[in-house]
Amino acid sequence: MTERPSVLLSVAASIDGYIDDNTDQRLLLSNDEDFDRVDEVRAGVDAILVGANTIRRDNPRLLVRSAIRRQQRQAAGMTESPIKVTISASGNLDPSASFFCTGNVEKIVYVPSSAAAMATQSLGEVATVVGSGTTVDLAFVLEDLGKRGIARLMVEGGGTMHTQFLSAGLADEVHLVVAPFFIGDSTAPRFVGDAKFPQNSANRMNLAEVKQIGDVVLLRYLPSGALSA
């Protein structure tokens, strides 16, 4: 049986748990020093996953920014940046999005099998489309990534993805950066949505590290039973 990748969830949130506001401008929750830390973490993984809504909303590039880190990856026989992965229920994604058009790395899109033909027609020239059955099951995604040689997966959002990985007990490490302000808008995107989480008051996560980074703080958690140590 193929060993699934270890899964690291990375998120920055306001004190009241929001990862964005409802304006059209990008909300900066972190700072330059922490952005560099995230870049270092990116450089150490095999693949980065975001949900389809994050691609539509934020148009992320998901590349390693540091030239030195890119060179180090290449010297180790790796691509400059990690493989990019997304999950979409509809397969309706813009092939001109930065996710697909930046970085000389493989892009993988997991969709329900019913959407695979349409997604392949739209995205087949810029990505590998994988039909995963009636719905996109995270266990299937991780098993498939493991077969592709992915040992370490970084999940960068959004809230739906974080919720699904945590509630399924598939997160091995959580990097939560807390910004020193509030959003105060219940309609804004949150770190997680409603779900039944195995990480509850009777099954607390292990706090492995607390680190001040300028005006934000990094909390590194290891869910009990996680693969990472």
pLDDT tens figures, 4-56: 999 999 999 999 999 999 998 889 999 999 999 999 999 999 999 999 999 99
- pLDDT beneath 50: ranges in the chain: 227-229
Domain ranges of the chain: 6-222
pLDDT at 26: 85
**CA Rg value for the chain:** 17
CA distances in angstroms from 150 to 4, 6, 16, 211, listed in the order given? 8, 9, 34, 28
Asked if residue 145 lies in contact with residue 5, where contact means CB atoms within 8 angstroms, the answer is yes
Beta strands at 6-13 and 47-51: parallel, antiparallel or unpaired: unpaired
CB count in 10 Å sphere of residue 78: 16
pLDDT at 25: 86
pTM, 2 dp: 0.95
Which CATH superfamily groups domain 6-222? Answer: Dihydrofolate Reductase, subunit A (3.40.430.10)
Q: What are the tens digits of pLDDT across the range 117-126?
A: 999 999 999 9
